[in-house]
Amino acid sequence: MSSAIIARFDRIGDCMRGACAVQDGALRSVMQFSADEDFAKHLDVQDPFRSFREQFHLPLGKNGKPLIYFAGNSLGLMPKSAKQIVEQELHDWAMLGVNAHLDAKTPWYSYHETVRDSSARLVGAKPNEVICMNSLTVNLHLMMATFYHPTKSRFKILMEDPAFPSDTYAIKTQIVHHGLNPKDSLLLASPRQGEFIVQTDAILDLIERHRDELAVVLIGGVNFFTGQLFDIPTITAAAQKHGITVGVDLAHTIGNVRLSLHDWNVDFAVWCSYKYLNAGPGAVAGAFVHERHASNTELPRLAGWFGNDPNTRFRMHLEPEFIPVPSADGWQVSNPPILAMAPLRASLAIFDEAGGMEPLREKSIRLTSYLQFLLESERDKRSKQRYTVITPREMNERGCQLSIQAHEYPQELFNKLEAFGVICDFREPNVIRVAPTPLYNTFHEVWRFAKILTQ
Ligand SMILES: *Cc1c(COP(=O)(O)O)cnc(C)c1O
């Protein structure tokens, strides 16, 4: 490995700190990698987050060594601190019974408030715009109950294609719920023939063509299949110009890329917490309602007692009128599931300790760019292409995931990866999704993965 390469690479750190201002093309021209194993190890030594890996349980292979875990886009790894936090709640339940609502170490009554600020930072929101509750799909339905009110002329919903199945089910049933037909009411922004990426222009064009009929644009921040990161501010502005409401599904976006939902003026967003947020299976999800809506207690909603003003919440039989909290809390339906919310506290504390998404995204860009470099440099050596990365090449058009389309024997290739100790996932018919994450993956793991894939 030449020292010149290292020296150039070190300077990228400075360059990337101002990443917003730096054009992507300029960045890539500075980023220089080497395929040497020593270079990967050097990147790990330089990695400011290398100690964070210690904070997670790493699944082990038969040889007792950690597997290469690239499935954080499906289920993030368990923070070691999660166990103690959950045990504390079990302990408080055992010792205090119902009194734990107010007397637990972390009182259950206001438990959702303990995850509010950190969650707001991750999505670029004000604390009063965020509520952690339920699961993603449930939150999507709750948001649609508030924001989708089709009229004779304005009734269409625009989504990207392919959208995650649960979102499609939710949206189609929302349409049917209003007595409409998805055939006329659901618009899909699809990739061009033979392509995988949905061009922003195609989305903007659809918005323009249906500007008087669209009620809602619902876009995945990062597409689950291709890993494409959509240009949320541009799409939001284009839709809102015509009075169209914009919602974003952040399942693959939160904890993955930087977000500024408040400044982008997004109307609503929903996310789950078990993917890049590492909050555990079925962890409590979240929702964002922009301040200008969140403070509007007149907005229709599907309400429950925990969305009610806490001062009158327990006077239900005396004051049966629903008085929503004038913040995103006003959409909370039930009392928080404490045992499912406890690991979220452990997880968010790690993101806070890391300094939030800005520095993490910086590492993430290096990690995924390095993977891309290794895959491409190997592929270039072969006359026949065995696979294609279908994720956008531009780093600000993707998160940490690369989706690799295998042209020959995809299932066999996936099985081989598994046999060599890689955990990633396979989407029919032939796409392998790999998501190296900045909190617990290393550059050397990326190097080993590329070696296994290209062998
Ligand atoms: C993972 C994921 C979901 C999951 O929904 P749940 O309600 O949490 O089970 C929904 N939408 C998208 C885009 C996802 O990636």
How remote is the CA of residue 224 from the centroid of ligand 1, in Å?
9
The two structure tokens encoding residue 378: 């190997």
Main-chain dihedrals φ then ψ at residue 389, nearest 5 degrees: -85, 120
Global confidence as pTM: 0.93
Ligand 1 probe mutation, 137, 143, 278, 401, most atoms within 8 A of CB:
137
Smallest CA separation from ligand 1 atom 4, residue = 136
Q: Is 272 in the pocket of ligand 1 (CB under 6 A)?
A: yes
In tens, the pLDDT along 107-118 reads 999 999 999 999
Segment 341-367 mean pLDDT: 98
pLDDT value at position 326?
A: 97
How remote is the CA of residue 144 from the centroid of ligand 1, in Å?
16
Q: Is 224 in the pocket of ligand 1 (CB under 6 A)?
A: yes
Segment 94-113 mean pLDDT: 97
Query: pLDDT category, 4, cuts 50, 70, 90?
Result: very low
In tens, the pLDDT along 38-93 reads 999 999 999 999 999 999 999 999 999 999 999 999 999 999 999 999 999 999 99
Q: Which residues pair with 181 in a beta bridge?
A: none
Q: Which atom of ligand 1 is nearest to the CA of 285?
A: 8
Smallest CA separation from ligand 1 atom 15, residue = 251
Segment 152-177 mean pLDDT: 97
How remote is the CA of residue 45 from the centroid of ligand 1, in Å?
35
Contact 159, 122 (CB under 8 A): no
Dist CA 206 CA 209 (whole Å): 5
The CATH classification of domain 3-66+355-454, taken from the options 1.10.1040.10, 3.90.700.10, 3.90.1150.10, 1.10.390.10: 3.90.1150.10
How remote is the CA of residue 354 from the centroid of ligand 1, in Å?
25
Smallest CA separation from ligand 1 atom 8, residue = 136
Q: Is 166 in the pocket of ligand 1 (CB under 6 A)?
A: yes
Residue-by-residue DSSP string for 87-114: HHHHHHHHHHGGGHHHHSSS-GGGGGGG
Nearest partner of 437 among 185, 76, 3, judged by Cα: 76
Query: Residue 450 contacts by C-beta under 8 Å, 6 or more apart in sequence?
Result: 371, 374, 375, 378
The CA–CA distances, whole Å, from 437 to 70, 260, 267, 360, 371 equal 7, 21, 28, 9, 12
Ligand 1 probe mutation, 132, 164, 276, most atoms within 8 A of CB:
164
Q: Which atom of ligand 1 is nearest to the CA of 282?
A: 8
How remote is the CA of residue 143 from the centroid of ligand 1, in Å?
15
Ligand 1 probe mutation, 222, 226, 272, 278, most atoms within 8 A of CB:
272
Q: Which atom of ligand 1 is nearest to the CA of 138?
A: 7
pLDDT value at position 381?
A: 67
Q: Which atom of ligand 1 is nearest to the CA of 74?
A: 1
The secondary structure of 195-237, three-state, reads CCCCCHHHHHHHHHHCCCCEEEEEEECECCCCCEECCHHHHHH
Query: N- to C-terminal Cα distance for the chain?
Result: 21
Complete edge-to-edge strand list for the sheet that includes strand 214-220: 130-132, 286-289, 268-271, 245-249, 214-220, 156-160, 186-189
Q: Is 137 in the pocket of ligand 1 (CB under 6 A)?
A: yes
Average pLDDT, the chain: 92
Main-chain dihedrals φ then ψ at residue 234, nearest 5 degrees: -65, -45
The size of the chain, in residues, is 455
In tens, the pLDDT along 220-274 reads 999 999 999 999 999 999 999 999 999 999 999 999 999 999 999 999 999 999 9
Query: pLDDT category, 380, cuts 50, 70, 90?
Result: low
Contact 230, 220 (CB under 8 A): yes
Domain residue ranges in the chain: 3-66+355-454, 86-353
Is CATH 2.60.120.260 the classification given to domain 86-353? no
pLDDT value at position 455?
A: 82
